[in-house]
Chains A and B, each alone.
Chain A
């Protein structure tokens, strides 16, 4: 009896772990999005009103208008997620009232994962006073969650999700204000080959939609440009020991290692790479553009590392934003300024289309709101933001940063679409 119980208990625990470690595979996560996209093609029959086919957001007097933030607020990637929430908080302070209605920010923790992000999307979609959502932060969250936002016609502006797929699903209510991973990979490969003279590259990724996606893009571009990829390995998010993967990658003796993934594992990876005697270039995407959670968390090993990042502040109004932000929360990490712009885009569009009806309710037509966002260029603190028909920016730039003396210094700017 006791032996049988013991075996069953052990197997159960092992299975729970498999489920927890594996997460949903990209194929599983992508499936609901595609289904929803198919439904999307059919005419929206459930539209209640003749004037706005997506319906209305109706907010009675005395209630607050809510701007949602979906990002990682706990565990490994919380530095990024908290930065986004802080950026939106400052935007709401700057914007003030929306036609006399108080605006509140509501941050929900999506853990940078698919399943929790879908739950957050369902919670936000069920909130009748929700104006729109800033985020989700990660592509692995956006891809499954966008099916929910798409179905419920919730305005979604992500300042940080870079996977190509995000805006390629045909949703009219989904926008992005950062360059996608194809461009990031192009910049990374160009900088590696032409500025750093790298000929051989080892690639490590974190098996997420984001990390593996950009790793594959870098691999194909690097090989197309005549370089040699000496190794391509995946590791598990949340793990701490990458020594075995590192030994395998270093076997190919690459000039540089490209990391497709986030800050928490990136800091450990660069630390353990240096600990294994690797002296070449370490290069990563926007997921490691963070001083507290990458540069400082690496115990000094990140010195000299490079990364690409799209949403650099510095346009008109940035200095005021930075002062205000720093006073309350400390220096912005990465996507704080982008989140400020995303919230401002949502709030300005709402201000342009909102009306007050006879009963004293604030009424916002949903489709008109999304159309307003698409049609109106915005002068943000991260630059000039104008959307194309997919919800991507027409003009973007990507900056290459280098870690020097515990700081991140811009070394080269690439412009696209001008």
Chain B
């Protein structure tokens, strides 16, 4: 029994990650009816922005004197970095193709995903090239700037795994036989807080109302005086910020980040969004938790190596039985 409770807590933690990332998929699908396959990599970029911030803060001793502030700054940096990346991706890779076929946008999304991965992997090389750029034998940047560029790009990315400083430790509380670490509690709490905030934003604010209007019918929304492009940018901003927060959470909780880290969580989150009903916000959260719990419960009955098999079997069964997802609309067109 205790083990089952422990496994359920494990499942809820993993589910929190899936749910936070799934929200980005679902919001973009709700507004644009497109699947943003670069979303997993935006999540990765968020983790790297957080890493850069936390290493700077721990280098000058700030994270030791103000640990709570340091964690908040790290989350802010991760969220903001991912959000700006998401908005830029939409502007450059998706908006020019908005009138093109769905296939074109899908391919553009996959291309963006590869670009982001390789960019983060190769950024130290990019920094070296930038620092050595020269016109007529003189480098464009003075040597001190050049070194600063190399330093920054080296700290930011690269092919090697980066390790977050262990901020939370492995302490926790024991409830009878069940042990829960504080970091788990923090992760679950942060995820729930942001999901509630998002729900309130979409349901009860003017921006949320505009988003729902664009989701319902872009042309009519434009006729009602809504700036559709701005709303789409905001959607990408918010969805990507949530992915960035999930990225920082991964860094703080699991410590290791690498350029390819976005792939598996991205696909799992996409599965969560589909299971919950893509385009539907509570559906994405529900789907995330269902997937997280299904993975750990499957381990009770099957060897652990079948975890992914179970997750994707759920996707396939869902697509056959109810392609619109658990909370999806009956007509197959989901709205925010």
Contact = CB atoms under 8 A, between A and B. Distances in A.
Q: Do A and B come from one complex?
A: yes
Interface of A: 2-3, 5-7, 9-11, 13-14, 17-18, 20-21, 73-76, 78-79, 82, 207, 233-236, 238-241, 243-245, 247-248, 251, 264, 267-268, 271, 274-277, 293, 296-301
A299 B166 contact: yes
Given A13-B270, A251-B3, A275-B170, A21 B308 contact: yes
Given A233-B304, A248-B299, A277-B172, A78 B160 contact: yes
Contact of A268 (B181, B256, B259, B271): B256
A413 B308 CA distance: 41
Interface stretch (B138-146, B196-204, B236-244, B260-268): B260-268
B316 interface: yes
B44 interface: no
A267 B254 CA distance: 9
Given A243-B13, A299-B166, A17 B264 contact: yes
A74 B37 CA distance: 23
19 contacts: A2-B102, A5-B102, A9-B106, A18-B309, A74-B159, A75-B259, A76-B258, A82-B160, A238-B260, A244-B7, A247-B3, A248-B304, A264-B161, A268-B255, A275-B183, A277-B172, A297-B161, A299-B169, A300-B170
Contacts of A13: 37, 267, 270
A78 B161 contact: yes
B255 A234 contact: no
B319 A267 contact: no
Nearest to B37: A13
Given A10-B319, A277-B172, A264 B304 contact: no
B299 to A, nearest CB: 4
Nearest to A248: B299
Given A79-B160, A240-B256, A243-B14, 11 more contacts: A7-B323, A14-B271, A17-B312, A21-B308, A233-B303, A235-B305, A245-B304, A247-B7, A267-B255, A296-B163, A299-B164
B20 interface: no
A18 B299 contact: no
B305 A240 contact: no
Interface string B151-179: 00000000111011110011010100001
Nearest to A233: B304
Contacts of B161: 75-76, 78-79, 264, 293, 297
B294 to A, nearest CB: 11
Contacts of B307: 236, 244
Contacts of B174: 277
Interface string B23-47: 0000000000101010000000000
Contacts of A20: 263
B308 A247 contact: no
B255 A271 contact: yes
A234 B296 contact: no
Please name the 5 residue pairs, one residue from A and one from B, whose CB atoms are nearest each other, closest first. A299-B166, A74-B159, A243-B10, A277-B179, A244-B296
Interface string B280-305: 00000000000000011001100111
Contacts of A275: 170, 172, 181, 183-184
Contact of B10 (A6, A10, A79, A244): A244
A240 B10 CA distance: 12
Contacts of A11: 316, 319
Contacts of A243: 10, 13-14, 296
Contacts of A251: 3
A247 B315 contact: no
Contacts of A277: 172, 174, 179
B325 to A, nearest CB: 11
Q: At the interface, is chain A mostly helix, strand, loop or mixed?
A: helix
A21 B299 CA distance: 17
Given A11-B316, A234-B304, A234-B305, A244 B254 contact: no
B250 interface: yes
Contact of B304 (A5, A244, A301): A244
A10 B305 CA distance: 22
B332 interface: yes
Contact of B308 (A17, A78, A293, A301): A17
A10 B315 contact: yes
B6 interface: yes
Which of A9, A17, A245 neighbours the largest number of chain B CB atoms within 10 Å of its CB? A17
A76 B160 CA distance: 7
B121 interface: yes
A17 B256 CA distance: 21
A74 B121 contact: yes
Contacts of B274: 10
A297 B159 contact: no
Contact of A75 (B37, B159, B163, B255): B159
B323 A3 contact: yes
A360 B319 CA distance: 69
B312 A245 contact: no
A255 B14 CA distance: 27
Contacts of B14: 241, 243
A248 B300 CA distance: 8
Contacts of B296: 243-244, 247
Contact of A301 (B170, B183, B315): B170
Interface string B76-96: 000000000000000000000
A248 B261 CA distance: 25
Nearest to A3: B332
Which of B164, B165, B166 neighbours the largest number of chain A CB atoms within 10 Å of its CB? B166
Contacts of B121: 74
A9 B6 CA distance: 35
A275 B263 CA distance: 25
Contacts of A207: 305
Contact of B319 (A7, A235, A236): A7
